[in-house]
Structures are given as structure tokens and as C-alpha cells.
Structure 1
């Protein structure tokens, strides 16, 4: 019996249909793959855009922040005062500003200071040691302001210039309320600014005399001027706040002046022309010479109010 002859036409038709089917399948897969690529590119693009937007927002927020350096002039041996002030300033959360508080004194002279202060620097990095002999009215404040452009010179040509918009000199018996300070600075110029508590105490004219040493502030351009001008170099000795005011007057600097009185004042005990009772609208309180005055002041402003409840402690 003869085997049937293969039907060539049917075979060729089946081959053609198979090839056609494979082509369609390949085409469909290619479309799916292309869509997958497009989806991936889209997702990546969106993620990149979102990341860029997030970074851009962060950069804008940083650019809008006021940068302030507060130099607290103190003495090397005032270890306990520095630790206390770290608590006072470290527990404040200023909004819209980056504030660095540094403790400032002249060259250390004792062996124990070298070790203890080295430990402080390693732990907190908040100390500036000036190249001077410790003094009150013989140029310490001048050395502080003159040294700053050299300390922060890496930012002069960088994107973060100026390193600070404002520099404040404060005493270590002054309580500065950081949010109040920032709020008062927001509408003020960032150039040629001289800010503080006008002396004499009875005056409200910021263009008379000078700002009290309890805590005065200037813009960074004035700091650079102090660094380069001969006026501060030739007039160093005398009451440091009065000497600073002389520089401003003789150099015709600080044409933008702001009198923060009576939001800055001396503690009300003892009563004086420069003091008044504690009030809510306060930027700085001066002459907190002992712990009792500090505690009364901190309690008045409810400084520890944000303390969260916890099972770990009970403070009645």
C-alpha cells in the first residue's frame, strides 16, 4: 500500500501562517517592551524631577534662612557658665534662621585649661580662642571682630558667602531669646546694619552714642570693614561698646540702625534707668549675675515648657 503524498500546498500554508503568527507575536512583544521602556523612563524622570524639586525647595529654604553668629565673650575658667549656656541656647529652636553660638576668649594660659577646653572643643566645637591676652577693655572685642573674616575665609569666594548675615557680640550674663531676635531681624537690611540697646539708657535715638555691650549686632559687611580698616586698629582701648560706637561714627558705618529698646534691657533687680520688669516681648535680658536670676528669667518665659512627658522622669 502506497503512503499518501504530502500536500505541499497545505504544508506551505501552515509554514506561512506560523511565520505570520510569530511576526505578530514579536511585534506585540516589541510594543510591550517599548511601552515598558517608556514607563521606566517616565517613572525615572518623575522621580528625578521630584528629587530635583525637593532639593530645590531645600536650597531655597536655606537661602531664605538668616545666618547669625553669636559670639559670647567669656573667660577660659568659666566652665560651668559655658555648660549652662549650652543648655539655654541648645534648647531653643529658632525658625527661619541658622544660629551658631560660640564662646570667645583669649589665649589659654594654664595646663588644666588646655586639657579641659580641648575636651570641650572635641565634644561641642563651639569655642573660638583669639590670639590675645585676656582683657575687658583693651581690645578683646576688636580682636574678635577683626579675626572673623580670616576664620571664615574659605567662604569668601564660595556659594555660601557671606558665612553669616549678622554677627552679634553678647555678654555671658545675657539671655538672648533667639526666636525674638530672628523675628526682629527679618524686616531689616542685611548690609550696613548696627543693632542693639542704645546708650545712654534714657535715649531712643540709635544715631547717638553707641549700642550697649550686653549684646550688639552688625551685618557681615561691617565685620569685613573692621578687618580691613585702620580706624579700629588705631582706637582699641576703652569701654568696648563705646569704642565700637566710635568706629561706626568715625567710619560712617552702620547707617542702618535699629534700636531694640525696650525689648532688650537689664534685669529689674536692682532697679535702674536701663532696667524694667520682665515682659513677654523680650529679645534679651542682661545682668543675670547669679543662678537665681537666671532661673526666675527662664521660668518667666516658660523656657522648659516644651519638655515632653515621659515615663523616664517626673518633674512636678
Structure 2
């Protein structure tokens, strides 16, 4: 999240006439993230998040917003899109598509322990199963096709070792995704970006009580993909030791065991696990390279260091995945 498109008081007041949210009390830009313009919106009727979509077209939004609505209806704690007076879930603000969703309580846990990983693993499995009855379909837009295009764009900026790593891993993933083992993996709607800053935990009520997961958010990279990829995305962020880039066995086991109490892995998923960790690391290494070397202008922008996922990818290639 970031602020690429500022919103004036007059623009906000005019746009909110399409909602029944009461009087505006405050609007504050959110600095984290790098894709959309996001604001905390407080009105006399509650707290919300306003998002202006900088890249996504209006035609792409029904998948994301209806998925969030579907998950909320199935008791998965996610932001619920607020319906406009005409029954739609988004409109146009400052010449771009925009929406309002409910604001979850809690704070992100950026230094998670095993107990946090276990809660996220269990909720991710519940989310995957709830998504089986979702009727809309859209592929992961940051899948292999996008990765090949991004690789061509960043290629001139890379060192020779980086270039060799990038193209050899793309070739490996291309071969993998044509294999019968990969094609047979179970799939469905996936978050595809469930990093630590996209999950909130409510504070513990007592000193002897663990923080309680209060919800997942930022579904605007979601798409239909292999469920195992979604798990790998999480493990590569929630269970990595920095700065080594190696997996923490305690957190990995807590995450995977908790996930599989809800949805056990298939034999094929176990076989493809290490390759999927590599696929996840490649996807985020590439997107961070793209954001660093081909940046967009924004009022508040904090690009992430691509070296982090380069290290994780190299570690997965050379090491043994749990």
C-alpha cells in the first residue's frame, strides 16, 4: 500500500454520496506497500479502508471484491467490501476504480513465533477450503507469464550471476509447471501475497494468553493457483531466519502441521514442496527487482530489497527444504 493518488476533501465528500456511511471524521494515507493508494477512513458509522486501484482495471475488480465478500460470508476474517447505494462494490474516484472495505482490528506481527505461524497456517487452510465454492475464476496475474516478461525488463540491470540464476530458475519452473505432478496439484482461490504485514493479530487479554489472529487482508494479488504455492509464499516470509535466508524448523513445522490439521497435503504436494518454495522465492525476487529498477512515482513509497529473496532462492536451490 502507498499513496499514488491524493484525495481532496471535496473529492471525498462527493464520492461518499454513493454510500450510507455517515459523516467523514478523518482520512489518513497508509504508507506500507507499493501497489495501490490506501487510506484509513473514519466516519460516524465506523472505521474503513479506502483503496484507489492504480494498476487494476475495473473489469478485474469483481474477482477480488467478490472473493473477499464470499470469504467473509464463510466466517473467514477478511475485510468485507461495503456495498454502495446502487448495490455495486466499487466506483470511480479521481478517475480510477476505488472501493471501501471494513477495517480489521489488531496489528501486524513482524517478529512471529511458532504460535503465530500455527494460527496463520490453520486459517490459510480454512480459507482455501472456503474458496472451493467461489464461482469466479482468475489466474494468478504474477504467475509464470508475468515473470518471463518482468525478467526481460530487469535483465539489463542484473549482474552476470544474477542473470544466470534468474534464467535458470525460470527454465526450471517452466519445466515443472508442464509436468503431470504439478498439473495434478489441488488448486483454488489463493491470497498469493500473505506476508506478515497482511495479517493482523489482536492483543492478548492476559499475560498467559497468546495473541489471536484477527484477519487476513490485501487480497489484490489473489488468483486461482495451486494451494501449495500459497503455503510456500507464507513459509518463505513467516518462517525465514534473517539475514541467513534459511528456514526456521520450529516455525515451519508449526505452520505446516497446523495447516494440515485442516487440509492434509496430497502425495503430490509433498513431492513438489521444495520446488514450490523456489517458485515463491522467484516470484517475489522478480517483483522486487522490478520495483527497484522500474519504479513508479508515489507520495509515500517504500520499495523492498530484492536481495532478500535472491538469498532465499539460492538457499532453497542449494539446501534441503523441510
TM-score by length of 2: 0.28
**Higher CA-based Rg:** 1
Instruction: Determine which structure has greater relative contact order: mean sequence separation of CA pairs < 8 Å that are 6+ residues apart, divided by chain length.
Output: 2
